[in-house]
Amino acid sequence: QLRPSFYNTTCPDVSAIVLSVVQEAQRSDVRITASLTRLFFHDCFVQGCDGSILLDDSATIVSEKGAIPNNNSLRGFNVVDNIKAAIERACPGVVSCADILALAAESSVRSSGGPSWSVLLGRRDGTTANRNAANNLPSPFDPLSTLQSKFSAVGLGNTDLVALSGAHTFGRAQCKSFSNRLYNFSGGRPDSTLNPSYRSTLQQNCPQGGPGSTLNNLDPTTPNTFDKNYFNNLQGNRGLLQSDQELLSTSGAPTASIVNSFANSQGTFFQSFVQSMINMGNISPLTASRGQIRSNCRRVNGS
């Protein structure tokens, strides 16, 4: 069972160390807090929160980093290395990489204006990666019903889906993640659930045939602040990804009323987000004698 006090005697300063490295990184890279938050999601949804996302390719590992949703998209691995190095100096061999991802997500949200919470700890690191499962992460092109089933497969419900999607209140997406909505979405027309003036801004940034890698703010109103504006954007048909706008615009969807309640109250959103991050962090952790404490987050010990 995970608990906030897991490192109280063995590494009492672990949370403060993580926070300070995250905030140092944030000084030169405003986006890094979003990137670190996303790493935790992509770890937990594949084999649970076991640090599998951090493993590099090797003789025995087919890295999740090469999966389609991750390749040329995930970032923050060097900051995780820096956090690990700082923790190893203070308490060698004690803190797992999986727990570092959980702590880095909390520090990131808090350092961007969002809620803080006490992080459940005691996960250990896995010794395998799963490229195929990583290829099956929730996709921005999935219909709502598929997003719901991918969440329910790991024990998460509609409230978790909506609250955690609220992490798109900060960070960036590449044109290729949504440009299908801009030109020829259905019947030769753009996506009708995309606000026309927002659409023309996006069309300028993502011209047809242009580079798919150009970055766009996920939240056009407060791109670097963790707040409830993401949900207000959905109400104005300003969700960037199809998977964002669907939460509100799918007819009859049970997620719509949850979007509206978060749009009305930042306190309600923050409370639900914290609970849902805890729920996501509880996805099949390795505890007790299972797994290991990696000494290098990129490699299984002894390989």
Please, what is the minimum distance in Å from the beta carbon of residue 126 to Ca ion? 7
Give residue for tokens 């996920």.
218
Is residue 169 a contact residue for Ca ion (CB under 5 A)?
A: yes
- Tell me which stretch binds Ca ion (CB under 5 A): 42-50, 139-147, 202-210, 280-288: 42-50
Residue 227 contact among Ca ion, ligand HEM, none, beta carbon within 5 to 8 Å by kind: Ca ion
Q: Which is nearer to Ca ion, 6 or 40 (CB)?
A: 40
Q: Cβ(283)–Cβ(49) under 8 Å?
A: yes
The DSSP secondary structure of 173-225, one letter per residue, reads EEGGGTGGGTS-SBTTB--TTS-HHHHHHHHHHS-TTS-TT-EEESSSSSTTS
Nearest-angstrom CA–CA distance, 227 and 263: 10
Catalytic residue among 38, 42, 84, 124: 42
* Single residue of 165, 232, 249, 282 touching ligand HEM by CB under 6 A: 165
Is residue 99 a contact residue for Ca ion (CB under 5 A)?
A: no
Q: Does the active-site annotation cover 42? A: yes
Residue 41 contact among ligand HEM, Ca ion, none, beta carbon within 5 to 8 Å by kind: ligand HEM
Is residue 73 a contact residue for ligand HEM (CB under 6 A)?
A: yes
Q: What is the dihedral of CA 112, 82, 42, 93, to 10 degrees?
A: -120
Is residue 239 a contact residue for ligand HEM (CB under 6 A)?
A: no
Q: Cβ(170)–Cβ(218) under 8 Å?
A: yes
* Single residue of 82, 136, 146, 174 touching ligand HEM by CB under 6 A: 174
**Looking only at residues 190 through 219 of this chain, which bind ligand HEM when binding is defined by CB under 6 A?**
218
Q: Which is nearer to ligand HEM, 168 or 298 (CB)?
A: 168
* Single residue of 67, 167, 206, 256 touching ligand HEM by CB under 6 A: 167
Tell me, by CB under 5 A, how many residues bind Ca ion: 11
Q: Which is nearer to ligand HEM, 58 or 213 (CB)?
A: 213
Nearest-angstrom CA–CA distance, 198 and 48: 37
Please, what is the minimum distance in Å from the beta carbon of residue 167 to ligand HEM? 3
Which one-letter amino acid corresponds to residue 236? G
The torsion region of residue 291 among left (phi > 0), alpha (psi -120 to 50) and beta comes to: left
* Single residue of 232, 243, 272, 282 touching ligand HEM by CB under 6 A: 243
Return contacts of 77-82, CB within 8 angstroms, 24+ apart.
Answer: 77/39, 77/298, 79/21, 79/22, 79/25, 79/32, 79/36, 79/104, 80/36, 80/39, 80/54, 80/104, 80/297, 81/297, 81/298, 82/21, 82/25
* Single residue of 75, 84, 131, 181 touching ligand HEM by CB under 6 A: 75
Give me the residues that bind ligand HEM (CB under 6 A), please: 31, 34-35, 37-38, 41, 73, 75, 138-140, 147, 161, 164-165, 167-168, 170-174, 177, 218, 241, 243
Catalytic residues: 42
